[in-house]
Structure 1
Amino acid sequence: MNLALFDFDGTITSRETFGAFIRFAAPRRRRVLGAPFFAPLVAGYRLGLLSGSEIRARVVHFGFRGLHADELGRAGQRFAEEILPATVRPTALARIRWHRSQGDKVLVVSGALDVYLSPWCKQHGLDLICSRLHVEKGLLSGRFLGSQCVNAEKSRRVRELCVPEHFPIIYAYGDTKEDLDMLAMAHRKFYRWQEIT
């Protein structure tokens, strides 16, 4: 049995889903009030002045703090059913199916949120490592539970779940610099669906 590690946003999907989920699930009033505040931050990210992790942390705090976790969970389920299918690359699903047909262990390792990734992965019979939201007394605190699952955290969590040395071949698929640590673990690395050495 080999190990196959797949990033989600931009690898399994054709576009970013984190922002789409914020627009789908955050209360309308917060979206309207937050748009002018977050526009300069997004520009800073595109210019390389802010990290994606910083922006995601601020967006989660602004968009979700104080909401009922159950409500967000229901929104995540709907998002997984109604929005994600149109974003998933057929070639990615075909590659996942190929790995499963070989008997490989397939892990989705993503900085995206568990509230919508969990139902999607469950539907496809895939194991999941991802970013999770912190909940206190049934309400979202506006923080992540632990670290966001990006950069070195991806490879750390993979090692926490399984022993890489037990797999003859490790495959890894990613599309941004946040995936590079995970790709470094692999014998066969695919960056934006091109194999690299």
Structure 2
Amino acid sequence: MTTNIAFFDFDGTITFSDTFTPFIYRSVDEKTLRRGKLRLLPYILAYKMGALSGSVLRKKVVRIALAGKSEAELKNAGLFYSKTEIPSLLREDAMNKINWHKSQGDTVVVVSASLDLYLKPWCEQNGLELLCSEVAFSGGKATGNYKQGDCSARLKKTKIIDNYDLSSYKVVYAYGDTKEDLDMLSLASIKFYQWKEMV
């Protein structure tokens, strides 16, 4: 039987707030944090002024904060974060909608620019599929890069098309809350922006 598929952005759609920045703060030592803030200051200011995209800023943060960190330690930190921090950030209406889709037999996919370090265990805990920004490792250490880039804007759309045959689903739903989600929303027959249906 043909089922439906639903794509959900994570930060600001499933959650009330950003999860990327708090995870970075919890994953690095005080010394790295202090140095990182200084190195990132020009980029943060440029982002706040609208001269730099969130995608570019996230890449800079990952490079400065995570490069050289132990793979095992980061994955353990992600698992801990998924269990202890994320539950308090979840929107009840979002989780109700996800559970409604699951009860209908729909495929539910989280599509996010946030990191696989904590999204993968959280999605596994909740029986959801996942497309997101993946931290690259080499020799048991984080390289400071992504495997395939920052999963936002056009890359969200590309990853969906590469991983799912949308023509095989009866209805395609999508849920997002920022302009970085508009490419993903363009694929859907029923779409919600900031929890209001788009027509």
* TM-score of the alignment, normalized to the shorter chain, above 0.5: yes
Query: C-alpha separation between the residues in 1 aligned to 2:49 and 2:125?
Result: 37
CA positional deviation for 1:162: 1.2
Select which of 69, 72, 78 maps to 1:70.
Answer: 72
**Matched residue SS, 1:142:** strand
CA positional deviation for 1:28: 1.8
CA positional deviation for 1:37: 2.9
Identify the residue that residue 120 of structure 1 maps to in structure 2.
Answer: 122
Identify the residue that residue 89 of structure 1 maps to in structure 2.
Answer: 91
Query: C-alpha separation between the residues in 1 aligned to 2:193 and 2:48?
Result: 20
- Contact kept? 1:27, 1:63, Cα under 8 Å: no
Identify the residue that residue 82 of structure 2 maps to in structure 1.
Answer: 80
CA positional deviation for 1:146: 1.3
C-alpha deviations, 1:146-169, integer Å up to 9, x for none? 121111111111111110111111
Query: C-alpha separation between the residues in 2 aligned to 1:68 and 1:166?
Result: 41
1:51 equivalent to 2:53? Answer yes
**Matched residue SS, 2:191:** strand
Note the 1:176-191 alignment, pairs <5 A: 176-191=178-193
TM-score, normalised to structure 1's length?
Answer: 0.97
Select which of 15, 26, 40 maps to 1:24.
Answer: 26
CA positional deviation for 1:54: 1.0
CA positional deviation for 1:27: 2.1
For 2:90, give the aligned amino acid: V
Query: C-alpha separation between the residues in 1 aligned to 2:5 and 2:135?
Result: 27
**Matched residue SS, 1:186:** coil
The unaligned stretches of length 5 or more in structure 2 are none
C-alpha deviations, 1:108-162, integer Å up to 9, x for none? 0011000000110011000001100111111111111112111111111111111
The unaligned stretches of length 5 or more in structure 1 are none
Between stretches 26-35 and 186-195, larger displacement belongs to 26-35
Query: C-alpha separation between the residues in 2 aligned to 1:40 and 1:88?
Result: 31
Identify the residue that residue 194 of structure 1 maps to in structure 2.
Answer: 196
1:145 equivalent to 2:147? Answer yes
Percent of pairs with identical residues: 41
Query: C-alpha separation between the residues in 1 aligned to 2:196 and 2:42?
Result: 33
Query: C-alpha separation between the residues in 2 aligned to 1:49 and 1:182?
Result: 23
CA positional deviation for 1:43: 2.4
TM-score, normalised to structure 2's length?
Answer: 0.96
Tell me the matched-pair count.
197
CA positional deviation for 1:32: 1.4
For 1:151, give the aligned amino acid: A
Query: C-alpha separation between the residues in 2 aligned to 1:54 and 1:161?
Result: 24
Query: C-alpha separation between the residues in 1 aligned to 2:170 and 2:49?
Result: 40
Identify the residue that residue 38 of structure 1 maps to in structure 2.
Answer: 40
Identify the residue that residue 161 of structure 1 maps to in structure 2.
Answer: 163
Identify the residue that residue 11 of structure 2 maps to in structure 1.
Answer: 9
For 2:38, give the aligned amino acid: P
CA RMSD after TM alignment: 0.9
